[in-house]
Amino acid sequence: MKQLYIKQKVFSLSEKFTVKNQDEKDVYYVEGSFMKVPKTFSIMNQDRNEVALITKKVLSFLPKFFVEVNGREVLTIKKELSFLKARYSIDAAGIDVQGNWLDMDFQVLQNGRVVGKVGKEWFSWGDSYRVEILNEEMETIILALVIAIDCVKADEASSSASF
């Protein structure tokens, strides 16, 4: 089992942050496209090679995010029409999320087997998440999924604040 930690700075305009391992060493670098359309987040490994890309679809009636890992689209997160509260769905072949993913407390399953666990770190400044990787082959997908869900949450917060 491997543990990763994602900590975003609260008032960061550059939209850059790192993902650390259990030894507090940077293992991934994440950069957002500040003030660009379409909005993207690039996830890079230690050599600064892109391993995943998250893109918000523009000109969509409801928000939709695409996640590519190693140049291949692996999942889509989309908002569903709902009148009472925000509902989202995750479309991915063989990948499922169980738990409260909008509160960042969930498990990632692949074909019914738990391959990762995510929990929000409380009592920290900014958004901090602990990500347990149970299947290291799924590491990049799980990491991209967590960051994409965080993007969805930030998008939802900014759109509700504008009303």
Q: What is the pLDDT of residue 9?
A: 59
Euclidean distance between CA atoms 158 and 163, whole angstroms: 9
Cα 109 to Cα 94: distance, rounded to the nearest angstrom: 8
The Cβ of residue 43 has, within 10 Å, a number of other Cβ atoms equal to: 22
- pTM for the model stands at 0.83
Q: State how far the Cα of 86 lies from the Cα of 5, in Å rounded to an integer.
A: 27
Averaged pLDDT, groups of 10, the chain, 163 residues long: 80 74 93 81 94 85 84 85 68 83 84 92 71 94 87 70 52
